Structure 1
């Protein structure tokens, strides 16, 4: 077992982080937080850490983290309360319960302990027992209601659901040379109904997309991460490119925008990096330049605090060895998504995504010699 950093407390006084006349960030609050690091007992098991737990989801009610190994089709379930491996479940790749055939890029755990597997071919819904409930290939569904154009499709990687039936995400064109986000989609798999909200409100993010093209063909893209999240009866949309949030009001079928101001970082990417590369080396160099610019994380709901938290980062400086040192900024929002405060996290803690909230703390995976540990930030805010 590794020696862990000593537990310590930091108290920070912060400014409101915005224009004092702005309705989005008009409070001057004090944030304090505690930070500790904990290790997970894996027994004799070797965790799948290749993607930095990027293929994981948290069942908050049962305090379990599900980490999927998409190479061996195994699910590692970690007991976060007792910080130990609970079990490893094997899923089938072929056969009636198979979820193979495509590249699984994300998992989502539902309240009934069933799991949604998202891949490029569609959606697999698997019961707690491991029996597959259904596979849905979205491009083969004859939708009722709104209709997608001939070249349009639903972006599976953007989808979110709370019940495994109604999903929310983006739709658009996905051709390498003509990829456009055309708006937001809501669909129900039970009655195969589709509802579209056409809008180009996120099209500006394509200006920060890096493309690798070789021998006249498209090889790779590095787009911004635009996210849709269903929280209770709200549809919230964020992007890594800008300090802004959008809310899709389903009743009014309207889009509400909120702009925020940070006093600790830039408020949008500047685009001071090449947008096209003609070799892997050029692509990596362009990505290095892009990674210097500001990037905004997801809103993380803290229901027991009636708050949202977010971490975003921006390059602070380069070391003599050309390594990027980031400043990580923790921002607090109230339940109506008004910004109420921001502060810097300690430099040594690279607390960017993925992160989640549980038991009053923000948790971030930390790889310690290929073992699973978590840095935990316990934030609080007061007048």
Structure 2
């Protein structure tokens, strides 16, 4: 495997293209964004990293500058030291037994401040200590909640959960399965078993952008829009890939605050100019290809040392003669009150991919180079 090496150091600075109107609460702003870009590789030694899902099953311990990448095929956790850009450790986990976390059904991992790990699967949450010993498993459907209650048809969407301490969680709830429907947001505590629900249909609009594969008279697969919840500085923030808008759950007032934004560089929502039903896998893939041309908003990334949030989004700019999609990628800045400060188009060759995290003044994202782990790092700054 390659030793650590830095690749392609490119410095680009520029002014933002324009100021961006915000919601009525926010004012206009005219600030200048500049940035630097570089690409670095991780020294894996003799190890072969698990990159099948593009580090989609990873999390970052920012205080220790460690990235945890879970291999759900071999039940191993690859821990990368982001300071030295080298493999630090590989931990093994058990499928069965008292410390078992199940086999092959883990869909997300989250590292807690004490270095224990939460493994999210379809029925609940496995909490495992740093030593590998399982602390407990929370099967959400079997908990008798205090406070609000779910109907028989409603469940908490485990894939959407966010927590800071491993005790209080936030996520979407509603009917699950092929015909899933988000009925609102849930706050629950697994220690005192309290449950608080905020019923709302504020995300109902995103179902119009779903693509369904219908075969043999039934639903086989669905390509939906991403929606997520994050907790930052006690703010519960909700975002979706379909629209240039954020929401905040005000826990004291038990209400949602909406923050719509306007981009001068791209569309502000998907248009839906693609088939929403397909009768074969070929039609399904073709519809997804068309959908991918439309605007897609990334998740908000907190930069605490800058008192800012950053977000990537993209939209097709043109097609090449060889039918390759060329995207316009945009970087947007927000302040801690969620006012949009400005936006900047990135170089044509820039490709934004998930996940994105912030560390050491830079936005990091995974880059697969011949099945080795590399990171593209953007160091953004903003000034009057």
Q: Give the TM-score, by structure 2 length.
A: 0.97
Secondary structure of 1:262 counterpart: coil
Q: Residues 256, 144 of structure 1: CA spacing in aligned structure 2 closer, same or farther, 3 A cutoff? A: same
In structure 1, the partner of 2:215 is 214
Cα deviation for residue 23 of structure 1 reads: 4.6
- Name whichever of 353-362 and 10-19 sits farther off: 10-19
CA distance in 2, matches of 1:53, 1:141: 32
Counterpart in 1 of 2:144? 142
CA contact (8 A) 1:115 1:128 kept: yes
Asked whether the equivalents of residues 266 and 294 of structure 1 are also in contact (C-alpha less than 8 Å), the reply is yes
Aligned partners of 2:93 and 2:354: how far apart in 1? Answer: 26
Query: Partner residue of 1:373?
Result: 374
The 5 A counterparts of 1:352-367 are 352-367=353-368
Conserved 8 A contact 1:170-1:184: yes
Q: Do 2:20 and 2:341's aligned partners in 1 also have CA atoms closer than 8 Å?
A: no
Distance 1:70 1:305 in 2: 35
Query: Which one is further off, 230-239 or 241-250?
Result: 230-239
Distance 1:208 1:247 in 2: 23
Q: Pick closer, same or farther for the CA change 1:20–1:259 going to 2, 3 Å.
A: closer
Q: Which of residues 72, 75, 78 in structure 1 aligns to 2:77? A: 75
| Contact 2:20 2:343 survives alignment (8 Å) | no
Residue aligning to 2:52: 50
C-alpha deviations, 1:307-342, integer Å up to 9, x for none? 000000111111122121111100000011100010
What pairs with 1:31-110 in structure 2 (closer than 5 Å)?
Answer: 31-101=33-103, 103-110=105-112
Secondary structure of the residue aligned to 1:7 is strand
Change (3 A) 1:204 1:21: closer
Taking the aligned partners of 2:294 and 2:361, their CA distance within structure 1 comes to 30
Is the 1:210–1:221 Cα contact (8 Å) retained in structure 2? yes
Q: How many residues align?
A: 382
Q: Any conservation in 1 of the 2:300–2:310 contact (CA below 8 Å)?
A: yes
Query: Per the alignment, do residues 21 and 160 of structure 1 end up closer, same or farther by CA in structure 2, a change over 3 Å counting?
Result: closer
CA contact (8 A) 1:17 1:264 kept: no
Distance verdict in 2 for CA 1:253–1:174, change over 3 Å: same
DSSP 3-state at the match of 2:180: strand
Structure 2: runs of 5 or more not aligned: none
Q: Is the 8 A contact 1:7 1:35 kept in 2?
A: yes
The answer to whether the 8 Å contact 1:328/1:352 transfers is no
Q: Secondary structure at the match of 2:99?
A: coil
- Structure-2 residue corresponding to 1:351: 352
- Report the 3-state secondary structure (helix = DSSP H, G, I; strand = E; otherwise coil) of the residue aligned with 2:49: coil
Q: By how many angstroms is 1:24 displaced?
A: 3.4
| RMSD, aligned α-carbons | 1.4
- Between the aligned partners of 1:299 and 1:102, the Cα distance in structure 2 is 29
Match of 1:180 in 2: 181
Q: Deviations over 1:183-208 (max 9, x none)?
A: 00000000111100000000000000
1:306 alignment partner in structure 2: 307
Structure 1 residue 21: deviation in Å? Answer: 9.0
Q: How far is 1:102 from its partner?
A: 5.6
Q: Deviations over 1:95-135 (max 9, x none)?
A: 10000146111101011111111111211111111110111
TM-score by length of 1: 0.97
The whole-number CA distance in structure 2 between the counterparts of 1:187 and 1:51 is: 30
Deviations 1:293-312 (A, max 9, x none): 00100100000000000000
Structure 1 ranges of 4+ moved more than 3 A:
1-5, 19-25
Return the alpha-carbon distance in structure 1 between the equivalents of residues 320 and 304 of structure 2. 39
Distance 2:22 2:354 in 1: 30
Q: Does the Cα contact within 8 Å between 2:22 and 2:340 map onto a contact in 1? A: no
The answer for the alignment partner of 2:250 in structure 1 is 249
Task: Give me the whole-angstrom Cα distance separating, in 1, the residues matched to 2:7 and 2:352.
Answer: 15
Q: Could you tell me how far 1:232 is from its partner in structure 2?
A: 2.5
